[in-house]
Homo-oligomer: A and B are copies of this chain.
Amino acid sequence: MQAEIISVGTELLLGEIVDTNAAWLAQQLSPLGVDLYWVSTVGDNQGRLAQVLRRALDRSGLVIVTGGLGPTEDDVTREAIAEALGEEMVVQPELAEHLRCFFAQRGYTMPERNLKQATLIASARALDNPVGTAPGWWVEHQDHILVTMPGVPFEMERMWRDQALPRLRARLGGEIIVTRTFKTVGIGESRAEELVSHLIHSFNPSLATYAKRDGVHLRVAAKAATEAQARAMIADLEARVREVIGPYIYGVDDETLESALGQLFRERGLTLATMESCTGGLLASTITDAPGSSAYFRGGMVAYAIAAKEQWGVDPAIIKEYGVVSPQVAAAMATAARREVGADVGLGITGVAGPDPLDGQPPGTLYLGLDIQGQVDTFSGFYGSERRQVKRVAVLYALGFLRRKLLELEGTVPVDGRLSK
């Protein structure tokens, strides 16, 4: 079944609020095996909305509309549906009674203009709204289903789960889709796509790559009659994906890089300390985004001034000889971080966040130092140019580097780009 979402509201077109309903509903549709092809936003304008509705009912088996069900003159979703289908809105006594009770329970008399919330057209059935005044509409029209719900997210979500979804499941029967997302770090999108290119053209299960803020994601989706069948198809493709790209995968679905790292530290009983300069605290902040990080993260230093680096144990002679933006200083920061707070692992970052060059080096220059119980490594790179992006990418690379080196000690990750097990 092909689906389409229509979000109604002039405030959306003015950018005053971001449409989160469409994304929420989209996530609901994909596991049902419903293909969402179109999402549109329309203002509170009856003519334009009726036009969009007509096109939607023409091309999509399932049309979901949110918003515009309020009591004011601006709210014209019901009117537009009636116009598009050529039907009349008629007040339903039982809905009107329900509405009056809703107000009475809260100590108010229902304003007469709310009465339009108690209307239906002939092809519509009401969807109860226990948490607001606007009932939804379930409309069936020439084999097409039109679901209309309020725009307020918690009202819409509840109406969807309790009423629209069960009706829809009953109608669909048939196939479901299961997806699984593998998150990687330390590999670019082009390279990732290259490695899995022999798997990427299969249609079901399908595989696609996405460059995200937390690394490249590979998403596997399978469509089958039962969830168990879909999961088996995914497991099969997952095994083939892991064969070529496994060591780069740090997590699945909702897992984050920082929580995956936290797991590595907890399993090994290691503790961590950081000393960062160009990332200005974002490294420590990202590490501590993981709940429970206090179990292994001892502390971090944001050594912004050179004096602070020296205060915390970086040898002034190294800064003098190699410059503050250098692999040698990154390594010295890693060792100093370990020693300052007594941790097993120290991670150091020095670089140039920008916008101005520092010490003769351009924004985006990055050096990482890592000291794992006395074994010191460095990594250098050049990423981005906008200050916040430089910080963000530097942290991603630092955590990826840390993960790789921890696993390398056990021979389970790629060394110098080659895969080895």
Residues of A within 8 A of B (CB): 10-20, 22-30, 36-43, 45, 48, 52, 70-72, 74, 105-107, 111, 113-114, 130-131, 154, 158, 179, 189-190, 193, 208-211, 274, 279-289, 291, 293-294, 297-305, 307-308, 311, 340-342, 353-356, 381-389, 391
Choice from B40, B298, B386 contacting A131 with Cβ under 8 Å: B386
Determine if B305 and A288 form an interchain contact, defined as CB atoms under 8 angstroms apart: no
Chain B positions within 8 Å of A48 at CB level: 37-38
Interface contact B43-A40, CB-CB below 8 Å: no
Please, how many angstroms separate the alpha-carbon atoms of A105 and B279 in the complex? 21
- Nearest chain B residue, comparing its CB with the CB of A17: B23
**Chain B residue, CB-CB nearest to A305:** B298
* Total copies of the chain: 2
B10, B298, B308: the one within 8 Å of A308 (CB): B298
Q: Decide: A281 near B302, CB < 8 A? Known: A19-B23, A30-B15, A37-B13.
A: yes
> With A and B bound together, what is the CA distance between A386 and B294 in angstroms?
17
- What is the distance, in angstroms, from A193's C-beta to the closest C-beta of chain B? 6
- Cβ of A163 to closest chain B Cβ, rounded Å: 16
Q: Given A72-B190, A280-B288, are A304 and B308 also a contact pair (CB < 8 Å)?
A: no
Asked if A74 contacts B208 (CB within 8 A), the reply is: yes
Look across to chain B and name the residue whose beta carbon is closest to the beta carbon of A20. Answer: B18
Which residue among A298, A300, A311 has the maximum number of chain B CB atoms within 10 Å of its CB? Answer: A300
Q: Please give, as numbers and ranges, the residues of chain B lying within 8 Å of A302 by CB-CB distance.
A: 274, 281, 284-285, 288, 299-302
The answer on a CB contact under 8 Å between B22 and A19 is yes
Contact B211 A70 (CB under 8 A): yes
Q: List chain B residues, Cβ under 8 A from A385.
A: 130-131
Give every chain B residue within 8 A of A356 (Cβ-Cβ): 291
**Which residues in B have their C-beta under 8 angstroms from that of A355?**
291
